Chain A
Amino acid sequence: MGQKEHLRNFGMLAILIIILCALPSNINLYLRSVIMFTMMYVVLSLSWNIISGYTGYVSFGHVMFYGIGAYATGILVVDYGWHWIPTLFVGVFVSFVVSLIIGFPVLRLKGPYFAIAMLGAAEGTRVVATVWEDLTHGGEGIGLPNVENSFETYFAMLVVMLATIVVSYWVGHSRFGIRLNAIREDEIAAESLGINTTFYKLFAFALSAIFPAAAGGIQAYKVLYIDPETEFFILVTIYMKLFAMFGGKGTVIGPILGTFILYIVQEITWVKFPTAHLIAFGVFIVLVARFMPRGLMGFAIDKGWARKGMVH
């Protein structure tokens, strides 16, 4: 039974890829970038989901990895004249190292304390990006050369998104993911039943740190200007959290679904009601957390459209 399901899921993914490959040459620049940013948020919310949805360590500061990626690209392209593609790998590597350094102490904190410590870590990186002017150009930010080609960034983002989806799919259908779930449910039991929780948490955290770095790098190359305020903007974390929660955290399809729905909604409302839209997002977080903590997927499970659990 497993085999068939995997085939079906990969079939769906293949269709999505075909559509996303065919789209860009048939649509205008604006739509192309909307889709690119949607894909970016799929990357972000799926990554957040690995540490927060599967492992239960809700991060309020995941924007830091996105910002690190953006800065790696910005600095290397502008100050060192690199081609932008290799800079993505540097961003991913730096993010990976930072995630290990920060994760080791911070993942020992539980629940809300982890969440707030991550908020602090993100704010801290922002302050560093502001203060360390020699490296980051400080508060005035970095302007990137305007050679961007919207097809390049589009397809780069598509590749990163596919990588994130494939890794999430693996997490969501393997004993590794089950072990992360066990840590979320009861860390003491998990540890007593043979799970090296320190290692697994760190592994999950590192996984959830590398994809946002790549996405942040591509994004920097696309928007042509980065500064600490926008690249470490807490709203980015809020979006990834909300999209994943709305779709259903701890599932693969949930964050993807949540992003597609909510990002499009925010894209439409953003321009017309800039402030009201933020108020609405606040209210929306309250409502989702209070009334549908398991998101759309939870709803689907209750209706019998989807099965409980991830391995059957």
Chain B
Amino acid sequence: MAEAEIALDIQNLKKYFGGIKAVDGCTFQVPKGQISGLIGPNGSGKTTTFNLLTGVLEADSGDVFYNGENIVGLRPYEIFNRGISRTFQITRIYREMTVFENMLSASSMKIPVREARERAEQLMEFVTLTKLRGEYGGNLSYGQQKLLEFARALMTDPDLILLDEPAAGVNRTLLNNLLEHIHHLQEDQGKTVLIVEHDMNVIMNHCEKVFVLDYGVKIAEGLPEDIQKNEDVIEAYFGHR
């Protein structure tokens, strides 16, 4: 396979929490128009990396280039408006707003309301939440909240989608629909997707490239089947931690 274009170029990213080196000089390139996976044992810094990429946390040092622009130091909404959207590992839906309002809240103010509404309807339909459109977000089950987050993240038609454990708590059938949709986004619309996931089936069957983090450092990258055999990765997951 030819070298793909790079969507996100992460250079030497660092974030310490006091003594904890959550992300410690992480460098990797997310290929454009592909689905990539970011894996690693618990506490290896995956979520922190997402938070750094989206501006939720301020990086101690390092650069992130998106379309040639260094986005470190931008505020989260500025990064979002450049086309990077995300979901959260621990869902952050708006609990006292209805499902429909959750969806609308993420629409761009640049498009007319009518269009935003239509898009919200379609996405709700897709994640099977139409029946619950008037229900408070806080009353949804955990899995439904994950779905709502996923749908909400797609409201603005982003180019790069960061998903933090989308499979956790979502039932098989829906998960398959979801993954299918992600493939559709990637194949037909050329979107880039980066998935953090502990479910190895998802990673192995759906990602073209996988990055492995351990103690905040990238220890391996490559095709899923290569990663599976990689000594360092096995060590990180099963070795003496």
Query: Interface with B: A174-182, A227-235, A261-269, which one?
Result: A174-182
From residue A175, how far is it (CB to closest CB) to chain B in Å? 6
Residue among A182, A184, A185, A197 with max Cβ neighbours from chain B (10 Å): A185
Residues of chain A lying within 8 A (CB to CB) of residue B54: 192
Q: Is the CB of B105 within 8 A of A195?
A: yes
Interface residues in A79-105 (C-beta closer than 8 Å to B): none
| CB-contact partner of B134 in A188, A194, A309, under 8 A | A309
| B28 located at the interface, meaning its Cβ lies under 8 Å from any Cβ of chain A in the complex | no
Q: Which residues of B contact A188 (CB under 8 A)?
A: 56, 76, 92
Contact residues on A (Cβ < 8 Å of other chain), bracket: 20 to 34
A194 touches B94 (CB 8 A): no
**Chain B residues with CB under 8 A of A156:** none
With A192-B54, A193-B80, A309-B100 as known contacts, state yes or no: A179 contacts B75, CB within 8 Å: no
In the complex, whether B104 has a CB less than 8 A from a CB of chain A is yes
Contact B113 A175, beta carbon cutoff 8 Å: yes
Q: A191-B75, A192-B77, A194-B80 are in contact. Are A181 and B105 (CB under 8 A)?
A: yes
8 Å CB contact of A175 from B75, B116, B136 = B116
Question: A178, A193, A195: which contacts B85 (Cβ < 8 A)?
Answer: A193
Q: Does any Cβ of B come within 8 Å of A119's Cβ?
A: no
Residue of chain A at shortest CB distance from B85:
A193
Closest chain-B Cβ to A64's Cβ sits at a distance in Å of 28
Question: A residues within 8 A CB of B116?
Answer: 175
Contact residue range for chain B? 20 to 34
Q: Does A186 contact B (CB under 8 A)?
A: yes
B152 to A175, Cβ gap below 8 A? no
From residue B83, how far is it (CB to closest CB) to chain A in Å?
Answer: 10
Binary CB contact string for chain B from 68 to 95 against chain A (1 if under 8 A, 0 otherwise): 0000000111001100011010001111
**B104 contacts across to A, CB distance below 8 A:** 175, 178, 311
B97-A182 in contact (CB<8A): yes
Find chain B residues with CB under 8 A from A311 CB.
Answer: 100-101, 104
Which A residues are CB-close (under 8 A) to B92? 186, 188-189
Interface string of A195-230 (1 = CB under 8 A from B): 111000000000000000000000000000000000
The complex places the Cα of A310 from the Cα of B55 at a distance, in Å, of 30
Asked if B47 is an interface residue, CB under 8 A from chain A, the answer is no
Using Cβ atoms and an 8 Å threshold, which residues of chain A touch B106? 193-194
User: In the complex, which residues 231-288 of chain A have their Cβ closer than 8 Å to any Cβ of chain B?
Assistant: none
B interface, CB within 8 angstroms of A? 54-56, 75-77, 80-81, 85-86, 88, 92-98, 100-101, 104-109, 113, 116, 134-136, 152-153, 156
A-B contact pairs, 24 of them (CB 8 A): A175-B105, A175-B107, A178-B104, A181-B94, A181-B101, A182-B97, A185-B95, A188-B56, A188-B76, A189-B88, A189-B92, A190-B105, A191-B76, A191-B77, A192-B56, A192-B77, A193-B80, A194-B106, A194-B108, A195-B77, A197-B77, A308-B136, A310-B101, A312-B98
Q: Which residues of A contact B (CB under 8 A)?
A: 175, 178-179, 181-182, 184-186, 188-197, 307-312
